[in-house]
Every structure is written in C-alpha cells, then in structure tokens.
Amino acid sequence: MKKILVTGGLGFIGSHTAVELQNAGFEVVIIDDLSNAKLEVLNNISKITGKTPEFHQIDLKKKDQVVAFFENNTIDGIIHFAAFKAVGESVQKPLEYYENNIGSLVYLLQEMRDRKLDNFIFSSSCTVYGQADELPITENAPIKPAESPYGNTKQVGEEIIQDTCKANGLNAIALRYFNPIGAHETANIGELPLGVPQNLIPYVTQTAAGIREQLSVFGDDYNTPDGTAIRDYIHVVDLAKAHIAALNRLLSKKNDTNFEVFNVGTGKGSSVLEIVKAFEKATNQNLNYKIVERRAGDITAAYADTTIANEKLNWKTEKTLEEALLSAWKWQTNQV
C-alpha cells in the first residue's frame, strides 16, 4: 500500500482529498498544525471511510519538526495543502504569509531531496493568471503580477518547485484550482470558515441559514452578461479526485516533464447572480441579497480550459453546480 503524506489534511480540500485517497486504496498520513482546522475532522474522515488516517500535529514552518517527521516516516508521495489562504489578510500580514507558505514548502522539498523521496503535488491557484486576456484560461496563459502576498506565495511556490525539479530530479505537479465549493455528500466534512466568510458560497449558505443578514453582491457593473463577476465553481470532491489522478500520473511515471501544471476547474463560468439563482432553485431557499460596490482586487471573469487536465490526467468533473450548492447547503444545515 502506497503511503501518501497530506499536509493540511484537516482543511477543506485536504480532508476531501484524504477521503478520496483512502477510497482509492492509499494509506494516508496527515500533518496539520490545527491553525485553521479542527481535530474532529480526523474522526469525520473515518466516519466516511471507516479508516482513521495517521495524524501528526506538526508546524511545517518549524524545520526541526519537519526533519523529525521524515526521520521516522517513509512516504511514497506528498500532497501539500498546508498554507494560509486569506487574500485580504495576506495584504495585512505579508511576512506571516511568506514565512508560513514558503518556509514550509522549502523545508518539505529539502527533506524530499535529502531522503531521495519523490512525487509532489502542489496546491496552486488560478490566481496566478490574474485577469487573463483570453477566456477560457489555458495553462499557457501568461502569469500576471500577483495581486496579493497570498497570490505571490502560489507563484513563487511554483517557481521553487520547478527549480527543485530541474536541479534535483524531483517529479512534481502543480494543480491550479479555480473556485472550490461544496462538501462531501455525507455532510461529515466541508468548509469551516473562521469568523465572517470571505468567499461567496459560505456567505450564501450562512445567509440562507440566518447567521448573516444579507449577502452583498460585489458589483453589477462588470463587463459580463448580467454585470456580476464570473468564476468557475468546482465541486470539492471533483477537485479532490484530480489530486488522485495527478498522483497516479506521477507514481506510474506517465508525466511528460518533471514539472507539470494543470488547471482544475469545470470549464464553465457562472456569474454571482447565476449562483444566487441556482442556489435558490437547488435548495428552495430565498436568499436576501443586495448589490453593493465592487470588492477591491476582484477580477471580472475567470474560468478554466480543462482540455489538458482532462486528457493528461484522464480526469473530468462528474458533479453539477446544483449538486455542489446542495451539498454546501446540507453541510451548513448540519452545523450547530
């Protein structure tokens, strides 16, 4: 049985990926520092799969802790999610973001090099494209200057990995996520935003649940059909499965070059108002919303060209937007 390390494995995408790894027959080891996740997620993973992943509470920006882990564990691959991810906060606290997101990455890669470990999957983001000149966005679209320190950690992270692949023969894949939403169909795991949600879907579900009074739709004067901004919302379970596909590509040595990047989205864009309507229809809830000013830093539209991911990873999305929204709502109503 191949043993896969999932860093940040108690987080939103990490926990769903841990489940899919177990379903696919991998042995999962999770590292999480619990800075933005709860230990009970471990138990909730095992409620779904019947297996509790091995867990280590480790702070990856502490090199001694990273070294100690690898001294005692041999692994066949790493899926690296652990990172701070709040765009706005990163503007206020750039050094914390660089220390955490870049420091942890460097320490992991050093251990991989020194111990001759291979197969690294990196959690990247479509934020590297900024406002792309052409839609849908292909992997060949130019990288734009980062809008935030968070976005910059993804760009620099990819470069660090690419340099390591070149120098040390590491094989790695960066997955550029579009907008992950939804929750596991059992509602045992999902997104747990701290405080007031910054992302659209948790704000929508909390508003429908009466936790927030009203959803603010940020801007209806964009150059889009209904004036609201367009994103590519992907079900987190489909996204999780893309990691398994990427891992299998590396483990079976099917990769074309030792550093590859793939877009992971649905290929379909939805506007904020389309999301509101789709949520109302899928859940039979009325959503209280109002149009307000644009949010600083937001782009007009981003959705993926998934041709390369579909072909090379032999992966495609299986779930609809409605299923994703319904699963997010089921998860929300399962809280408390």
Catalytic residue set: 150
Per CB under 6 A, the list member of 41, 78, 121, 126 interacting with ligand UFG is 126
User: For residue 254, with 0-12 CB atoms within 10 Å meaning exposed, 13-18 middle and 19 or more buried, which class applies?
Assistant: exposed
58-66, 111-119, 123-131, 164-172 -> range binding ligand UFG (CB under 6 A): 123-131
Which residue, 118 or 305, has its beta carbon nearer to ligand UFG?
305
Question: Should residue 328 be labelled a site residue for ligand UFG when binding is judged by CB under 6 A?
Answer: no
Per CB under 6 A, the list member of 98, 103, 193, 218 interacting with ligand UFG is 218
Output the smallest distance, CB 309 to ligand UFG, in A.
17
Question: Should residue 55 be labelled a site residue for ligand UFG when binding is judged by CB under 6 A?
Answer: no
Q: Which sign does the torsion angle of CA 231, 235, 240, 242 carry?
A: negative
Per CB under 6 A, the list member of 16, 231, 241, 249 interacting with ligand UFG is 231
- Do β-strands 215-218 and 120-125 pair in parallel, antiparallel, or remain unpaired? unpaired
Output the smallest distance, CB 151 to ligand UFG, in A.
6
Contacts of ligand UFG in 263-292 (CB under 6 A): 272
Q: Which ranges of the chain would DSSP assign to H, the alpha helix?
A: 12-23, 40-49, 63-72, 87-92, 94-97, 103-114, 149-168, 200-208, 236-251, 272-283, 307-312, 321-334
Residues 6+ apart with CB under 8 A from 172: 119, 120, 121, 122, 161, 162, 164, 165, 250, 258, 259, 260
Output the smallest distance, CB 218 to ligand UFG, in A.
4
The contact set with ligand UFG (CB under 6 A) reads 85, 87, 125-127, 151, 179, 198-200, 203, 215-218, 229, 231, 272, 295, 298, 302
